[in-house]
Structure 1
């Protein structure tokens, strides 16, 4: 792609000169014509969004919303939060338009809505009350019994908002993986918040617009697929290129893919994306041989700055832990990486500084910013070799992560490698329990 062919990003950073699109649309209050304003932009430290604002000059009804315009994540995400005090009610929440919101105590479930929200938990629950109270007067005239039951439910719901019935549990389930609940104790683990990333079901994939497995290939395409399978391709000696969209600006670009063999480990797929429009660069690794029979835990003590040059393959299912810094990076937070220890530290620093809006952005409180600054300063010292005698722990239930052993094939005195049997919960998280291997033949 030449410089003359460069295209402006579809979603640009927020600025005062951005163009707003205005569309006439129907007001749902008075059923007259109002105006909807749309803005395609990028929220700093977050992702691409479509902001909408509606105003009716007849009845003065106003409304606003936010819709995610970024790609769906590889896995869905489920947040289970124990709400105990006002601190929990002040947590920032990103709820996408395909997420469901549940309160098991009241047997309440809010299905996917027409718009997403970026709001705190208290505000999100108050919006539920506002929506349920809408047209309640008309409902009392038409169906008094239903209106009375709804009034009783609203009393219970408001008692939860005021924390009179605390503690209680809320569940935010998003098959697209684009929702989020803030951890106010970050970077430490949150004792009240459980985060689970899961493999989407067939029904969830269909609801997001993905094709079902049995609908993906048309009959006339089968002959072409069989023809391609007969052609011998040496993937280890070739770099494959395929078109994609830039994760940063959504402009079409290319991704390169290469299969490599890591000594004393296994085959791995490395993918690299470069966008000429915005300069974005990214790389990711995937295991090329499936899941291992056992999980693997690697523990390394840093004793010399030369340890920072060790090669690291961190899969997207691997947890990273540095106990001395009270740092834990869960699987799915940073994707797969093939780099050095120094590069891994640098990538975590970049993750905190540029991609965590509720930890270092304008919405973060001062206490959180102070804690994150201390942690980032320690990580920068570690990446420069100024902080030794700390332990780096990689815990990968698939066994697809790797840390270079300087003494290979002998044991490394500063490295401890442990293989373990996966738990039932880990197998369920990886989707292994749902795999159907009947009539499966290996070639």
Structure 2
């Protein structure tokens, strides 16, 4: 049986305590957004009690994720949700929160999460009414408010905050942007790393390699394959991109299953200004341009009404064609639009999006490709360098307060630190 339910269910009748056994079914499935998960379903044939849970068997993502949904219609209750064990669910209007690790992971809907919370609160109400009627009455009142939320008579905010980055809230308008849903990727704090059981590696003291040594050396460290979890090696190299800056390229090759992956990290600091790069794609030769997309960079294609938020797909050093292929696979292979649960209209919409992306790659459709990086660490090759590229426009802009907040800059203090401590004493 799953961990949240005892393997044996007990029922007391007129005779002695009777014990019934149920059946647990396990399914290992791969979801492109969340790597691999185990779906467990428990059913008791005697009392008809059932329970469904998920457990993530993939790796913890590089960044945490926060989904903020402004629910305004009854249809929002049907949005599918993947909630992991370490995710926190909140409804600020009711000052209601489901803490991390208080429930097992679930593949459900927003209505299902509310129903699950209601069932948990109602479970011990008979005991509370006997012990303290006032407390039981207040909980009954709160349960009524939760049930009323499902009718969406007034708008409310639903938030899923997952430090592991493995939770998800459905966007029914995909691949277009959902104005009601805000997806924010963030860096975990030390407390969140400790909660997830991650070791925090700190470089310092003796034995730290200098930057000159890193340029001429490929570092290697042990890790596990994100696909089959077999032991693998990750190679790391510091590379200088012409007319740009240094980046760190990390590549993993699994000898067990043959899976390969690469990731790019910025080797420099956050730039004083954000960067917005706009390329007018008019020829198939544009697909061969080198491209560096950092973790903080968002991608936009106005002609397709498409926007990919920062943090999605991670950091990449590839070509324009390679990034468009990754975007196409990410959208077309969306697990919530495949199988029996998909609708013909939604499938057709995503297939049409895939065809248009293919037309752009083949040069049959002109489009604008926009990289917007508040940290200023993204790059798109200028084939006319050092001269100006007539098809390429690079703009630098002042970051907003919200962008600085996402990058963790608003609370960062690097000047007068010691003086500030002295004055406070």
TM-score norm. by structure 2 comes to 0.88
Tell me if structure 2 keeps the 8 A contact 1:394–1:401: yes
For the residues of structure 1 that align with 2:337 and 2:412, how far apart are their CA atoms? 37
Secondary structure class of the residue paired with 2:207: helix
Residue among 72, 76, 87 paired with 1:99: 87
Name the structure 1 match of 2:28.
41
For the residues of structure 1 that align with 2:352 and 2:209, how far apart are their CA atoms? 57
Secondary structure class of the residue paired with 2:40: strand
How far the C-alpha of 1:265 sits from its partner, in A, is 0.4
Name the structure 2 match of 1:386.
364
Name the structure 2 match of 1:178.
166
How far the C-alpha of 1:206 sits from its partner, in A, is 2.0
How far the C-alpha of 1:436 sits from its partner, in A, is 4.8
CA 105–82 in structure 1, closer or farther in 2 if over 3 Å, else same: same
For the residues of structure 2 that align with 1:38 and 1:252, how far apart are their CA atoms? 28
For the residues of structure 2 that align with 1:171 and 1:21, how far apart are their CA atoms? 26
CA 29–125 in structure 1, closer or farther in 2 if over 3 Å, else same: farther
Listed one character per residue, the Cα deviations across residues 385-426 of structure 1 (whole Å, up to 9, x for unaligned) are 2223x1111001111111111111111111110011111211
1:102-121 correspondence runs (5 A): 102-112=90-100, 113-121=102-110
1:398-437 correspondence runs (5 A): 398-437=375-414
Unpaired stretches in structure 1, ≥5 consecutive residues: 1-19
For the residues of structure 1 that align with 2:211 and 2:184, how far apart are their CA atoms? 40
CA 64–184 in structure 1, closer or farther in 2 if over 3 Å, else same: closer
For the residues of structure 2 that align with 1:320 and 1:200, how far apart are their CA atoms? 23
Secondary structure class of the residue paired with 1:78: strand
Residue among 128, 145, 162 paired with 1:139: 128
How far the C-alpha of 1:363 sits from its partner, in A, is 3.4
Listed one character per residue, the Cα deviations across residues 235-284 of structure 1 (whole Å, up to 9, x for unaligned) are 22222222111111211111121111111100111111122222211111
How far the C-alpha of 1:97 sits from its partner, in A, is 0.8
Residue among 192, 197, 200 paired with 1:209: 197
Tell me if structure 2 keeps the 8 A contact 1:353–1:360: no
Tell me if structure 2 keeps the 8 A contact 1:78–1:196: yes
How far the C-alpha of 1:40 sits from its partner, in A, is 6.7
Secondary structure class of the residue paired with 2:223: strand
Is the counterpart of residue 297 in structure 1 residue 284 in structure 2? no
Listed one character per residue, the Cα deviations across residues 12-34 of structure 1 (whole Å, up to 9, x for unaligned) are xxxxxxxx999x95557659685
CA 35–87 in structure 1, closer or farther in 2 if over 3 Å, else same: closer
1:321-336 correspondence runs (5 A): 321-336=300-315
Tell me if structure 2 keeps the 8 A contact 1:34–1:54: no
Name the structure 2 match of 1:352.
331
1:16-31 correspondence runs (5 A): 25=6, 27=8
Name the structure 2 match of 1:154.
143
Listed one character per residue, the Cα deviations across residues 101-156 of structure 1 (whole Å, up to 9, x for unaligned) are 11122221111223011111112211111111112222211221111111111112
For the residues of structure 2 that align with 1:124 and 1:230, how far apart are their CA atoms? 49
How far the C-alpha of 1:230 sits from its partner, in A, is 6.7
Q: State the number of aligned residues.
A: 409
Listed one character per residue, the Cα deviations across residues 194-227 of structure 1 (whole Å, up to 9, x for unaligned) are 111122223222222234x6xx67xxxx9xx744
CA 197–231 in structure 1, closer or farther in 2 if over 3 Å, else same: closer
Tell me if structure 2 keeps the 8 A contact 1:186–1:359: no
Residue among 261, 264, 284 paired with 2:243: 264
CA 234–362 in structure 1, closer or farther in 2 if over 3 Å, else same: farther
For the residues of structure 1 that align with 2:210 and 2:351, how far apart are their CA atoms? 54
Secondary structure class of the residue paired with 1:386: coil
Name the structure 2 match of 1:4.
none
Which stretch shifts more, 173-182 or 58-67? 58-67
TM-score norm. by structure 1 comes to 0.84
CA 44–395 in structure 1, closer or farther in 2 if over 3 Å, else same: closer
CA 232–383 in structure 1, closer or farther in 2 if over 3 Å, else same: closer
Question: What's the C-alpha RMSD, in Å, of the aligned pairs?
Answer: 2.8
For the residues of structure 1 that align with 2:361 and 2:227, how far apart are their CA atoms? 26
Tell me if structure 2 keeps the 8 A contact 1:29–1:61: no
Listed one character per residue, the Cα deviations across residues 290-310 of structure 1 (whole Å, up to 9, x for unaligned) are 211211000111122211111
Unpaired stretches in structure 2, ≥5 consecutive residues: 12-16, 419-425
Secondary structure class of the residue paired with 2:165: coil
Tell me if structure 2 keeps the 8 A contact 1:268–1:285: yes
How far the C-alpha of 1:364 sits from its partner, in A, is 3.3
